[in-house]
């Protein structure tokens, strides 16, 4: 009989780690262990404790011992017990922090002055609105559709999906991606040439470790410093390619000694905006063919084009010399950590050798869910809906600037999640300070410039328009317009 209740109790409730080291009876030791766990914060307020039968079975003690300990701790105020809600940790007021006590002693007066009795410079207020680039609207994540795909995918998943996997990624997702990328982006591939990874940065690290991109890689003279740092840590020196309104000047690749790869954003140059000119696309592919090099195509927001049909992928021009890199970070959410590489056939085995048999892969359930989401049409519907949403946001930004700051030129607005506001020379730093005082978080264009770039330095603000909540977007735009420099006669503003 005892074995019967123990076996049934072992499947109830949740795990709770307690060490009964206190001297005395088992009830005394259990109560002491529970008080210590609550006092240390390991058991947070409102945490539901396991049923007394379950905890008794886990600890190897009598049921009545646990029941009596629970009852006494309820009487002391450590726990609460309500019918239908179980036994939970009671809410306890947190002790005042040293900072609070000091504030009380001040009795509402001014904070203590810095050493020497003089006040330091007053810091800018904390950001109220985020206009940082590169972040999609988190509130628009398609929860219901994603959950429906997750249920279907989990139901249909074969048993082997929950065992050791293929470092390429789940075949269901690779098949779905091959079909989708061919249809939506003009990519020419098959599932065996697709490798799933946890995002663009992960892909770039893996490619760097293949040594095929060493010792030098050409990059656009404006881009993410994080990517340059990542390449530098892999032993790759980055060489900047000049930019103009038609994108990177790829006809200069042949003049760069030791460069074996070029990292480009052809669909929408990041961050200045604009697609790579067709002639320059062809020049990049021709250079890769003649030199035996590689073009790394970062298609970071190729799906989010607003004013005309999306620009197709460069990979379609030569699948043997272009590595296509994509992810769902902009289209769905960076929290999913899902990306992919479309590789030339001769690179697949080499990259898989670097990725390893037990690499920290993207979770199988997310891969299966994304495969269903694509095949069911949910991904297309979401992208089309978000394209309209972000276009409205972009139009609202452009209209606000036209009304309040018509002297500021806006560029890079044909696609993506950000715009570039071109500022008068010498005004970027003061505009960023003014934005901080308006409670805005945003970036200056100068932070994206390669330190060795020969492209003329541009002053500007990189304004992301995807993240502010709908109810505060207009307020964020008003604050942005107040932070912009006034119209001048062309002379630099100090």
> For the chain, which residues make up each domain, given as ranges?
2-89, 129-138+381-483, 142-376
Taking a C-beta distance cutoff of 8 angstroms, is the pair 51, 8 a contact?
A: no
pLDDT tens digits for range 33-71: 998 888 888 888 988 888 888 888 888 889 899 888 988
Query: Which residue stretches of the chain have pLDDT < 70?
Result: 1-13, 92-125, 309-310, 358-361, 488-494
Query: Would you state the pLDDT for residue 100?
Result: 44
How high is the pLDDT of residue 311?
Answer: 80
The hierarchical CATH code for the domain 142-376 is 3.40.640.10
Instruction: Name which CATH class applies to 129-138+381-483.
Output: alpha beta
CATH topology (fold) of 2-89: Arc Repressor Mutant, subunit A (1.10.10)
pLDDT of residue 273: 87
What pLDDT shows up at residue 306?
86
Q: What pLDDT score does 12 carry?
A: 58
- CA 77-81-84 angle, to 5 degrees, is 165
Would you state the pLDDT for residue 7? Answer: 54
């Amino acid at each position: 009989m005892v074995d019967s209740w123990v076996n049934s109790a072992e499947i109830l409730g949740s795990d709770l780690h307690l060490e009964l080291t206190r001297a005395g009876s088992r009830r005394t030791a259990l109560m002491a262990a529970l008080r210590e766990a609550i006092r240390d914060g390991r058991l947070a307020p409102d945490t539901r404790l396991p049923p007394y039968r379950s905890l008794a079975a886990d600890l190897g003690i009598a049921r009545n011992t646990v029941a009596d300990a629970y009852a006494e701790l309820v009487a002391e105020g450590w726990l609460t017990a309500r019918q239908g809600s179980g036994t939970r940790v009671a809410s306890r007021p947190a002790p005042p922090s040293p900072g609070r006590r000091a504030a009380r002693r001040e009795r509402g007066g001014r904070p203590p002055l810095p050493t020497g009795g003089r006040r330091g410079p007053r810091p800018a207020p904390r950001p109220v609105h985020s206009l940082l680039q590169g972040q999609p609207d988190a509130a628009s994540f398609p929860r219901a559709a994603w959950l429906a795909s997750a249920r279907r995918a989990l139901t249909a998943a074969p048993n082997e999906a929950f065992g050791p996997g293929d470092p390429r990624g789940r075949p269901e997702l690779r098949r779905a991606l091959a079909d989708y990328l061919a249809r939506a982006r003009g990519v020419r591939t098959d599932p065996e040439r697709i490798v799933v990874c946890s995002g663009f940065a992960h892909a770039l690290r893996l490619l760097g470790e293949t040594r095929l991109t060493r010792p030098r890689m050409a990059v656009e003279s404006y881009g993410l410093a994080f990517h340059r740092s990542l390449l530098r840590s892999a032993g790759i020196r980055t060489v900047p390619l000049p930019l103009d309104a038609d994108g990177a000047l790829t006809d200069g690749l042949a003049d760069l000694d030791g460069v074996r790869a070029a990292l480009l954003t052809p669909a929408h140059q990041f961050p200045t905006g604009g697609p790579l000119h067709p002639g320059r696309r062809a020049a990049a592919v021709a250079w890769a063919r003649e030199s035996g090099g590689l073009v790394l195509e970062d298609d970071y927001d190729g799906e989010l084009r607003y004013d005309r049909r999306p620009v197709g992928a460069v990979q379609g021009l030569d699948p043997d010399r272009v590595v296509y890199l994509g992810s769902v970070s902009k289209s769905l959410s960076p929290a999913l950590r899902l990306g992919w590489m479309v590789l030339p056939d001769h690179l697949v085995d080499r990259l898989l050798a670097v990725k390893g048999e037990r690499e920290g892969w993207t979770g199988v359930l997310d891969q299966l869910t994304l495969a269903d989401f694509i095949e069911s049409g949910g991904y297309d519907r979401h992208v089309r809906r978000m394209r309209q949403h972000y276009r409205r946001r972009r139009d609202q930004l452009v209209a606000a600037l036209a009304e309040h700051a018509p002297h500021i030129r806006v560029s890079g607005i044909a696609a993506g999640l950000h715009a570039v506001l071109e500022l008068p020379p010498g005004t970027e730093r003061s505009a960023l300070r003014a934005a901080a005082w308006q409670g805005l978080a945003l970036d200056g264009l100068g932070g994206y410039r390669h330190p060795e770039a020969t492209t003329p330095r541009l002053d500007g603000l990189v304004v992301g328009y995807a993240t502010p909540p709908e109810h505060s977007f207009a307020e964020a735009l008003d604050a942005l317009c107040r932070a912009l420099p006034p119209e001048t006669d062309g002379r630099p503003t100090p």
